[in-house]
Structure 1
Amino acid sequence: MLSAETACMPRRRASERHLPTSPVTTGEVGGETGNALLDVLTAFHHPTRRWLCELLAVEGPATVGMLARRTDLAVGSVSHHLGTLHRHGFVEPAPELARDTRESWWRSRPRQVSWESTDYGDGTVARRIAATAEAENFRHHVRAVQRWLAEGESAAPEVRRAAVATDTLMAATVEQMAELSRRFTELVVEWSEECRADAGVHPGAERLPVRVSARVFPSGPVKP
Protein backbone atom coordinates (compact mmCIF):
# COMPACT_ATOMS: atom_id res chain seq x y z
CA MET A 1 0.00 0.00 0.00
CA LEU A 2 1.29 3.47 -0.84
CA SER A 3 1.93 5.79 2.07
CA ALA A 4 -0.07 9.00 2.21
CA GLU A 5 3.08 10.95 1.40
CA THR A 6 3.84 8.85 -1.68
CA ALA A 7 0.26 8.81 -2.88
CA CYS A 8 0.14 12.59 -2.89
CA MET A 9 3.35 13.05 -4.86
CA PRO A 10 2.50 14.70 -8.20
CA ARG A 11 3.70 13.19 -11.43
CA ARG A 12 6.61 15.05 -12.91
CA ARG A 13 5.87 17.05 -16.00
CA ALA A 14 7.52 15.94 -19.24
CA SER A 15 9.82 18.97 -19.16
CA GLU A 16 11.03 17.91 -15.71
CA ARG A 17 11.51 14.27 -16.72
CA HIS A 18 13.73 15.32 -19.64
CA LEU A 19 15.96 17.67 -17.65
CA PRO A 20 18.67 15.01 -17.04
CA THR A 21 19.13 14.61 -20.80
CA SER A 22 18.78 18.26 -21.80
CA PRO A 23 21.18 19.17 -24.62
CA VAL A 24 24.71 20.15 -23.73
CA THR A 25 24.78 23.96 -23.81
CA THR A 26 28.53 24.58 -24.04
CA GLY A 27 29.01 25.83 -27.59
CA GLU A 28 26.65 25.83 -30.54
CA VAL A 29 24.80 22.66 -31.48
CA GLY A 30 26.27 21.59 -34.78
CA GLY A 31 29.58 23.32 -34.18
CA GLU A 32 31.17 20.84 -31.77
CA THR A 33 34.88 20.11 -31.91
CA GLY A 34 37.36 17.93 -30.02
CA ASN A 35 35.96 15.58 -27.40
CA ALA A 36 32.51 17.16 -27.65
CA LEU A 37 32.36 16.14 -31.31
CA LEU A 38 33.45 12.61 -30.44
CA ASP A 39 30.55 12.37 -27.99
CA VAL A 40 28.17 13.46 -30.76
CA LEU A 41 29.58 10.89 -33.19
CA THR A 42 29.27 8.13 -30.60
CA ALA A 43 25.69 9.11 -29.84
CA PHE A 44 24.50 9.30 -33.44
CA HIS A 45 26.42 6.55 -35.23
CA HIS A 46 24.73 3.75 -33.39
CA PRO A 47 22.44 1.76 -35.72
CA THR A 48 19.48 1.72 -33.34
CA ARG A 49 19.73 5.39 -32.43
CA ARG A 50 20.04 6.42 -36.05
CA TRP A 51 17.01 4.26 -36.85
CA LEU A 52 14.99 6.02 -34.14
CA CYS A 53 16.09 9.41 -35.49
CA GLU A 54 14.95 8.52 -38.98
CA LEU A 55 11.64 7.07 -37.79
CA LEU A 56 10.85 10.36 -36.05
CA ALA A 57 12.00 12.38 -39.06
CA VAL A 58 10.00 10.35 -41.59
CA GLU A 59 6.93 9.21 -39.65
CA GLY A 60 6.58 12.21 -37.36
CA PRO A 61 6.48 12.65 -33.56
CA ALA A 62 5.86 9.56 -31.46
CA THR A 63 5.74 8.40 -27.88
CA VAL A 64 8.25 6.03 -26.34
CA GLY A 65 5.59 3.32 -26.37
CA MET A 66 4.78 3.87 -30.04
CA LEU A 67 8.46 3.63 -30.97
CA ALA A 68 8.87 0.51 -28.85
CA ARG A 69 5.99 -1.18 -30.71
CA ARG A 70 7.30 0.04 -34.06
CA THR A 71 10.81 -1.33 -33.45
CA ASP A 72 10.11 -4.30 -31.16
CA LEU A 73 12.55 -2.77 -28.67
CA ALA A 74 11.93 -2.62 -24.94
CA VAL A 75 10.44 0.64 -23.67
CA GLY A 76 13.41 1.14 -21.37
CA SER A 77 15.82 0.71 -24.28
CA VAL A 78 13.96 3.25 -26.40
CA SER A 79 13.94 5.75 -23.52
CA HIS A 80 17.68 5.29 -23.02
CA HIS A 81 18.47 5.84 -26.71
CA LEU A 82 16.19 8.87 -26.94
CA GLY A 83 17.84 10.35 -23.86
CA THR A 84 21.24 10.04 -25.52
CA LEU A 85 19.96 11.59 -28.75
CA HIS A 86 18.29 14.39 -26.80
CA ARG A 87 21.50 15.19 -24.95
CA HIS A 88 23.24 15.80 -28.25
CA GLY A 89 20.48 17.69 -30.01
CA PHE A 90 19.12 15.09 -32.46
CA VAL A 91 15.63 14.82 -30.94
CA GLU A 92 13.56 16.95 -28.59
CA PRO A 93 10.51 16.45 -26.37
CA ALA A 94 7.10 17.39 -27.78
CA PRO A 95 5.10 17.81 -24.53
CA GLU A 96 2.31 19.75 -26.25
CA LEU A 97 1.22 16.49 -27.91
CA ALA A 98 0.76 14.63 -24.63
CA ARG A 99 -2.78 13.94 -23.47
CA ASP A 100 -1.62 13.50 -19.89
CA THR A 101 1.60 13.56 -17.86
CA ARG A 102 2.22 9.86 -18.43
CA GLU A 103 2.86 10.31 -22.15
CA SER A 104 6.35 11.16 -23.34
CA TRP A 105 6.31 12.46 -26.92
CA TRP A 106 9.40 13.08 -29.03
CA ARG A 107 10.11 14.73 -32.37
CA SER A 108 13.10 14.89 -34.69
CA ARG A 109 15.37 17.91 -34.47
CA PRO A 110 17.33 18.47 -37.72
CA ARG A 111 20.99 19.24 -37.21
CA GLN A 112 24.26 18.84 -39.08
CA VAL A 113 27.32 16.84 -38.13
CA SER A 114 30.63 17.07 -39.98
CA TRP A 115 34.01 15.70 -39.03
CA GLU A 116 37.37 14.57 -40.31
CA SER A 117 39.01 11.60 -38.64
CA THR A 118 42.51 12.92 -39.45
CA ASP A 119 41.84 15.87 -37.14
CA TYR A 120 42.73 13.44 -34.37
CA GLY A 121 46.16 11.97 -33.77
CA ASP A 122 47.08 8.76 -35.54
CA GLY A 123 46.71 5.72 -33.27
CA THR A 124 44.66 7.56 -30.64
CA VAL A 125 41.30 6.45 -29.26
CA ALA A 126 39.80 9.66 -30.62
CA ARG A 127 41.00 8.85 -34.14
CA ARG A 128 39.52 5.37 -33.86
CA ILE A 129 36.14 6.76 -32.74
CA ALA A 130 36.03 9.22 -35.63
CA ALA A 131 37.07 6.56 -38.16
CA THR A 132 34.52 4.08 -36.79
CA ALA A 133 31.79 6.70 -37.11
CA GLU A 134 32.72 7.26 -40.75
CA ALA A 135 32.67 3.52 -41.44
CA GLU A 136 29.29 3.12 -39.73
CA ASN A 137 27.96 6.08 -41.69
CA PHE A 138 29.02 4.36 -44.92
CA ARG A 139 27.42 1.07 -43.86
CA HIS A 140 24.20 2.94 -43.13
CA HIS A 141 24.19 4.39 -46.63
CA VAL A 142 24.89 0.97 -48.14
CA ARG A 143 21.92 -0.52 -46.28
CA ALA A 144 19.71 2.28 -47.58
CA VAL A 145 20.85 1.72 -51.19
CA GLN A 146 20.38 -2.04 -50.87
CA ARG A 147 16.82 -1.50 -49.67
CA TRP A 148 16.09 0.81 -52.61
CA LEU A 149 17.53 -1.71 -55.09
CA ALA A 150 15.37 -4.43 -53.55
CA GLU A 151 12.15 -2.42 -53.38
CA GLY A 152 12.56 0.25 -56.05
CA GLU A 153 11.18 -1.82 -58.92
CA SER A 154 7.76 -1.72 -57.29
CA ALA A 155 7.84 2.08 -56.95
CA ALA A 156 5.68 4.26 -59.19
CA PRO A 157 7.29 5.12 -62.56
CA GLU A 158 7.43 8.84 -61.71
CA VAL A 159 9.29 8.02 -58.50
CA ARG A 160 11.84 5.89 -60.34
CA ARG A 161 12.37 8.64 -62.93
CA ALA A 162 12.90 11.21 -60.17
CA ALA A 163 15.61 9.11 -58.53
CA VAL A 164 19.14 9.26 -59.89
CA ALA A 165 22.48 7.54 -59.55
CA THR A 166 25.52 9.30 -60.98
CA ASP A 167 29.12 8.24 -61.18
CA THR A 168 31.85 10.42 -62.69
CA LEU A 169 35.59 9.87 -62.84
CA MET A 170 37.37 13.10 -63.76
CA ALA A 171 40.96 14.37 -63.49
CA ALA A 172 40.84 17.40 -61.18
CA THR A 173 43.06 19.40 -58.85
CA VAL A 174 42.63 19.21 -55.09
CA GLU A 175 41.20 22.75 -55.20
CA GLN A 176 38.62 21.69 -57.79
CA MET A 177 37.66 18.66 -55.73
CA ALA A 178 37.22 20.87 -52.65
CA GLU A 179 35.10 23.30 -54.68
CA LEU A 180 32.81 20.48 -55.85
CA SER A 181 32.41 19.29 -52.27
CA ARG A 182 31.54 22.81 -51.11
CA ARG A 183 29.06 23.45 -53.91
CA PHE A 184 27.36 20.09 -53.47
CA THR A 185 27.01 20.56 -49.71
CA GLU A 186 25.56 24.06 -50.15
CA LEU A 187 23.11 22.76 -52.75
CA VAL A 188 21.85 19.97 -50.50
CA VAL A 189 21.48 22.32 -47.51
CA GLU A 190 19.61 24.88 -49.61
CA TRP A 191 17.35 22.20 -51.10
CA SER A 192 16.60 20.77 -47.65
CA GLU A 193 15.63 24.21 -46.32
CA GLU A 194 13.35 24.76 -49.32
CA CYS A 195 11.63 21.42 -48.72
CA ARG A 196 11.18 22.22 -45.03
CA ALA A 197 9.71 25.64 -45.82
CA ASP A 198 7.37 24.23 -48.47
CA ALA A 199 6.09 21.63 -46.00
CA GLY A 200 5.03 24.47 -43.75
CA VAL A 201 3.21 26.26 -46.56
CA HIS A 202 1.66 23.15 -48.12
CA PRO A 203 1.26 20.64 -45.27
CA GLY A 204 -1.18 18.50 -47.26
CA ALA A 205 1.14 17.82 -50.19
CA GLU A 206 2.14 14.20 -50.70
CA ARG A 207 5.80 13.71 -49.79
CA LEU A 208 8.34 10.90 -49.88
CA PRO A 209 11.29 10.44 -47.53
CA VAL A 210 14.16 11.29 -49.91
CA ARG A 211 17.73 10.39 -49.02
CA VAL A 212 20.65 12.25 -50.60
CA SER A 213 23.99 10.52 -50.29
CA ALA A 214 27.18 11.27 -52.22
CA ARG A 215 30.93 11.05 -51.73
CA VAL A 216 33.59 13.13 -53.41
CA PHE A 217 37.01 11.47 -53.16
CA PRO A 218 40.07 10.48 -55.22
CA SER A 219 39.67 7.08 -56.86
CA GLY A 220 41.70 5.07 -59.29
CA PRO A 221 40.20 2.40 -61.56
CA VAL A 222 38.13 -0.05 -59.53
CA LYS A 223 39.03 -3.70 -60.11
CA PRO A 224 35.98 -5.99 -60.48
Structure 2
Amino acid sequence: MTDRENAARQAGPEERRILDAGALRALAHPLRVKIFDVLANEGPQTASTLAAILGESSGATSYHLRTLARHDLIREVPGEHQGRERWWERPPGGIVYDSRAVQGSPAGEAALQVAVAEVHRRRHEELMEYFTGRIDLEPEEWVDASSSMTSGMSLTAEQTIELIRRIEQVIDETAATYRGQTGDGVRRVSVRADIFPLATHTRSTNSEEARP
Protein backbone atom coordinates (compact mmCIF):
# COMPACT_ATOMS: atom_id res chain seq x y z
CA MET A 1 0.00 0.00 0.00
CA THR A 2 1.36 3.39 -0.93
CA ASP A 3 -0.04 6.84 -0.52
CA ARG A 4 1.40 10.15 -1.67
CA GLU A 5 1.11 13.61 -0.22
CA ASN A 6 1.11 15.85 -3.28
CA ALA A 7 0.24 19.07 -1.46
CA ALA A 8 3.80 19.56 -0.27
CA ARG A 9 5.51 18.71 -3.52
CA GLN A 10 8.03 21.35 -4.53
CA ALA A 11 10.30 19.05 -6.55
CA GLY A 12 10.21 16.05 -8.84
CA PRO A 13 9.28 12.45 -8.09
CA GLU A 14 12.86 11.58 -7.18
CA GLU A 15 12.54 13.69 -4.04
CA ARG A 16 9.64 11.87 -2.43
CA ARG A 17 10.49 10.50 0.97
CA ILE A 18 9.34 7.06 2.10
CA LEU A 19 8.35 7.43 5.75
CA ASP A 20 9.97 5.19 8.35
CA ALA A 21 8.31 3.95 11.52
CA GLY A 22 9.38 6.98 13.57
CA ALA A 23 7.96 9.47 11.10
CA LEU A 24 4.77 7.42 10.83
CA ARG A 25 4.33 7.48 14.60
CA ALA A 26 4.82 11.25 14.54
CA LEU A 27 1.97 11.59 12.03
CA ALA A 28 -0.32 9.19 13.87
CA HIS A 29 -2.08 12.04 15.65
CA PRO A 30 -5.02 14.14 14.35
CA LEU A 31 -3.62 17.52 15.39
CA ARG A 32 -0.21 16.81 13.88
CA VAL A 33 -1.87 15.83 10.59
CA LYS A 34 -3.76 19.15 10.64
CA ILE A 35 -0.56 21.07 11.37
CA PHE A 36 1.19 19.23 8.56
CA ASP A 37 -1.61 20.19 6.14
CA VAL A 38 -1.72 23.84 7.23
CA LEU A 39 2.02 24.20 6.66
CA ALA A 40 1.55 22.77 3.15
CA ASN A 41 -1.44 24.91 2.23
CA GLU A 42 -0.82 28.15 4.12
CA GLY A 43 2.97 28.29 4.12
CA PRO A 44 5.29 28.85 7.11
CA GLN A 45 3.64 29.29 10.51
CA THR A 46 4.53 29.79 14.16
CA ALA A 47 3.04 27.94 17.11
CA SER A 48 0.86 31.02 17.76
CA THR A 49 -0.46 31.39 14.21
CA LEU A 50 -1.21 27.66 14.06
CA ALA A 51 -3.03 27.89 17.39
CA ALA A 52 -5.23 30.67 15.99
CA ILE A 53 -5.97 28.76 12.78
CA LEU A 54 -6.71 25.45 14.50
CA GLY A 55 -8.39 26.73 17.67
CA GLU A 56 -5.73 25.15 19.91
CA SER A 57 -3.37 26.50 22.55
CA SER A 58 0.08 27.62 21.44
CA GLY A 59 1.54 25.21 23.98
CA ALA A 60 -0.13 22.29 22.22
CA THR A 61 0.90 23.39 18.73
CA SER A 62 4.46 24.07 19.92
CA TYR A 63 4.72 20.55 21.37
CA HIS A 64 3.43 18.93 18.19
CA LEU A 65 5.68 21.08 16.00
CA ARG A 66 8.70 19.83 17.93
CA THR A 67 7.55 16.24 17.46
CA LEU A 68 7.20 16.70 13.71
CA ALA A 69 10.57 18.44 13.51
CA ARG A 70 12.27 15.66 15.46
CA HIS A 71 11.44 13.31 12.58
CA ASP A 72 12.37 15.83 9.86
CA LEU A 73 8.77 16.14 8.69
CA ILE A 74 9.02 19.91 9.10
CA ARG A 75 11.91 22.32 9.60
CA GLU A 76 12.59 25.75 11.04
CA VAL A 77 12.63 28.55 8.48
CA PRO A 78 16.20 29.89 8.40
CA GLY A 79 16.51 33.48 9.58
CA GLU A 80 12.82 33.88 10.35
CA HIS A 81 12.15 34.96 13.93
CA GLN A 82 9.48 37.14 15.48
CA GLY A 83 10.64 37.77 19.02
CA ARG A 84 10.93 34.33 20.54
CA GLU A 85 8.60 32.79 17.96
CA ARG A 86 10.06 30.25 15.56
CA TRP A 87 8.69 29.84 12.04
CA TRP A 88 8.20 26.36 10.66
CA GLU A 89 7.70 24.99 7.16
CA ARG A 90 7.37 21.70 5.31
CA PRO A 91 10.55 20.86 3.38
CA PRO A 92 10.46 20.48 -0.41
CA GLY A 93 9.34 17.17 -1.88
CA GLY A 94 6.54 14.72 -1.26
CA ILE A 95 6.07 11.87 1.18
CA VAL A 96 5.14 8.24 0.61
CA TYR A 97 3.34 5.86 2.95
CA ASP A 98 4.64 2.45 1.93
CA SER A 99 3.84 -0.73 3.84
CA ARG A 100 6.99 -2.37 2.48
CA ALA A 101 9.14 0.10 4.43
CA VAL A 102 7.88 -1.28 7.76
CA GLN A 103 7.09 -4.85 6.75
CA GLY A 104 8.01 -7.33 9.48
CA SER A 105 7.95 -4.70 12.22
CA PRO A 106 4.72 -4.94 14.26
CA ALA A 107 5.31 -1.46 15.73
CA GLY A 108 6.01 0.00 12.30
CA GLU A 109 2.99 -1.66 10.73
CA ALA A 110 0.77 -0.40 13.55
CA ALA A 111 2.14 3.13 13.14
CA LEU A 112 1.47 2.97 9.40
CA GLN A 113 -2.14 1.92 9.94
CA VAL A 114 -2.82 4.73 12.41
CA ALA A 115 -1.04 7.38 10.33
CA VAL A 116 -2.83 6.44 7.12
CA ALA A 117 -6.16 6.31 8.96
CA GLU A 118 -5.62 9.84 10.32
CA VAL A 119 -4.60 11.20 6.91
CA HIS A 120 -7.64 9.68 5.19
CA ARG A 121 -9.96 10.82 7.98
CA ARG A 122 -8.65 14.35 7.49
CA ARG A 123 -9.13 14.09 3.73
CA HIS A 124 -12.70 12.87 4.20
CA GLU A 125 -13.47 15.73 6.59
CA GLU A 126 -12.21 18.28 4.04
CA LEU A 127 -14.16 16.63 1.22
CA MET A 128 -17.41 16.52 3.18
CA GLU A 129 -17.00 20.05 4.54
CA TYR A 130 -16.62 21.42 1.02
CA PHE A 131 -19.20 19.43 -0.93
CA THR A 132 -21.90 19.45 1.75
CA GLY A 133 -21.78 23.13 2.60
CA ARG A 134 -18.89 25.39 1.66
CA ILE A 135 -19.42 24.91 -2.08
CA ASP A 136 -22.64 26.94 -1.73
CA LEU A 137 -20.57 29.92 -0.60
CA GLU A 138 -18.01 29.75 -3.40
CA PRO A 139 -18.00 31.98 -6.50
CA GLU A 140 -19.45 30.33 -9.61
CA GLU A 141 -16.01 30.05 -11.21
CA TRP A 142 -14.79 27.87 -8.31
CA VAL A 143 -17.99 25.82 -8.26
CA ASP A 144 -17.31 25.02 -11.92
CA ALA A 145 -13.70 24.21 -10.95
CA SER A 146 -14.80 21.63 -8.37
CA SER A 147 -15.44 17.96 -9.06
CA SER A 148 -15.85 14.65 -7.28
CA MET A 149 -15.71 11.65 -9.60
CA THR A 150 -15.77 7.90 -9.20
CA SER A 151 -15.44 5.36 -12.00
CA GLY A 152 -15.34 1.59 -11.75
CA MET A 153 -13.07 -0.20 -14.24
CA SER A 154 -12.08 -3.78 -15.02
CA LEU A 155 -8.27 -3.76 -15.15
CA THR A 156 -5.30 -6.00 -14.50
CA ALA A 157 -2.66 -5.00 -11.95
CA GLU A 158 -0.33 -3.98 -14.79
CA GLN A 159 -3.01 -1.82 -16.43
CA THR A 160 -3.83 -0.21 -13.08
CA ILE A 161 -0.14 0.63 -12.50
CA GLU A 162 0.00 2.23 -15.95
CA LEU A 163 -3.08 4.31 -15.13
CA ILE A 164 -1.49 5.47 -11.88
CA ARG A 165 1.70 6.44 -13.70
CA ARG A 166 -0.24 8.44 -16.29
CA ILE A 167 -2.18 10.30 -13.58
CA GLU A 168 1.03 10.96 -11.65
CA GLN A 169 2.64 12.35 -14.80
CA VAL A 170 -0.21 14.81 -15.34
CA ILE A 171 -0.06 15.89 -11.70
CA ASP A 172 3.74 16.24 -11.74
CA GLU A 173 3.71 18.25 -14.98
CA THR A 174 0.99 20.58 -13.72
CA ALA A 175 2.73 21.08 -10.37
CA ALA A 176 6.01 21.90 -12.14
CA THR A 177 4.34 24.31 -14.56
CA TYR A 178 2.60 26.37 -11.88
CA ARG A 179 5.02 25.95 -8.97
CA GLY A 180 5.32 29.14 -6.94
CA GLN A 181 2.49 30.86 -8.81
CA THR A 182 0.92 33.81 -7.01
CA GLY A 183 -1.49 36.56 -7.94
CA ASP A 184 -5.18 37.29 -8.29
CA GLY A 185 -7.37 34.21 -8.56
CA VAL A 186 -4.66 31.79 -7.41
CA ARG A 187 -5.70 29.39 -4.63
CA ARG A 188 -4.40 26.12 -3.24
CA VAL A 189 -6.23 23.25 -4.94
CA SER A 190 -6.48 19.70 -3.61
CA VAL A 191 -5.90 17.06 -6.30
CA ARG A 192 -6.86 13.53 -5.28
CA ALA A 193 -6.82 10.21 -7.07
CA ASP A 194 -7.85 7.19 -5.02
CA ILE A 195 -7.12 4.04 -6.99
CA PHE A 196 -7.48 0.63 -5.39
CA PRO A 197 -8.97 -2.81 -6.11
CA LEU A 198 -12.50 -3.42 -4.88
CA ALA A 199 -13.29 -6.40 -2.68
CA THR A 200 -14.36 -9.48 -4.60
CA HIS A 201 -17.49 -11.35 -3.53
CA THR A 202 -17.34 -14.61 -5.47
CA ARG A 203 -20.17 -16.98 -4.66
CA SER A 204 -18.97 -20.52 -4.16
CA THR A 205 -20.44 -23.30 -6.31
CA ASN A 206 -19.84 -25.84 -3.56
CA SER A 207 -23.29 -26.99 -2.39
CA GLU A 208 -22.25 -27.39 1.26
CA GLU A 209 -20.65 -23.91 1.48
CA ALA A 210 -23.61 -22.38 -0.28
CA ARG A 211 -26.17 -23.63 2.20
CA PRO A 212 -27.88 -20.94 4.25
TM-score, length-scaled by structure 2? 0.74
What is the correspondence of 1:86-165 to structure 2 with a 5 Å cutoff?
A: 86-100=69-83, 102-117=84-99, 120-121=102-103, 124-149=106-131, 150-165=133-148
**Structure 2: runs of 5+ lacking an equivalent:** 1-13, 202-212
Work out whether residues 90 and 109 of structure 1, in 8 Å CA contact, stay in contact via their aligned partners in 2.
yes
Greater relative contact order: 1 or 2 (C-alpha under 8 angstroms, separation 6 or more)?
2
Amino acid at match of 1:218: P
Alpha-carbon separation, structure 1, partners of 2:67 and 2:16: 16
Seq. identity, %: 27
Amino acid at match of 2:186: R
1:76 partnered with 2:59: yes
Structure with the largest fraction of strand: 2
After superposition, what is the alpha-carbon deviation per residue over 1:155-181, rounded to whole angstroms, capped at 9, x for unaligned?
A: 111111111222111111110011111
Amino acid at match of 1:186: Q
Work out whether residues 51 and 61 of structure 2, in 8 Å CA contact, stay in contact via their aligned partners in 1.
yes
1:204 partnered with 2:186: no
Work out whether residues 90 and 111 of structure 1, in 8 Å CA contact, stay in contact via their aligned partners in 2.
no
Q: Structure 1 residues 48 and 221 mapped into 2: Cα distance closer, same or farther (>3 Å)?
A: same
TM-score, length-scaled by structure 1? 0.71
Q: How far is the alpha carbon of 1:124 from its aligned partner?
A: 2.4
Alpha-carbon separation, structure 1, partners of 2:151 and 2:199: 12
Q: How far is the alpha carbon of 1:148 from its aligned partner?
A: 0.8
Q: Structure 1 residues 104 and 147 mapped into 2: Cα distance closer, same or farther (>3 Å)?
A: same
Aligned residues: 187
Deviates most, 151-160 or 78-87: 78-87
1:171 partnered with 2:135: no
Structure with the largest fraction of helix: 1
**Structure 1: runs of 5+ lacking an equivalent:** 1-27
Work out whether residues 43 and 88 of structure 1, in 8 Å CA contact, stay in contact via their aligned partners in 2.
yes
Q: Structure 1 residues 107 and 132 mapped into 2: Cα distance closer, same or farther (>3 Å)?
A: closer
Matched residue of 1:165: which SS? coil
Matched residue of 2:192: which SS? coil
Amino acid at match of 2:188: P
Matched residue of 1:170: which SS? coil
Alpha-carbon separation, structure 1, partners of 2:75 and 2:173: 23
Structure 1 moving runs of 4+ over 6 Å: none
Work out whether residues 18 and 97 of structure 2, in 8 Å CA contact, stay in contact via their aligned partners in 1.
no
RMSD (Å) for aligned C-alpha atoms:
2.7
Work out whether residues 118 and 127 of structure 1, in 8 Å CA contact, stay in contact via their aligned partners in 2.
no
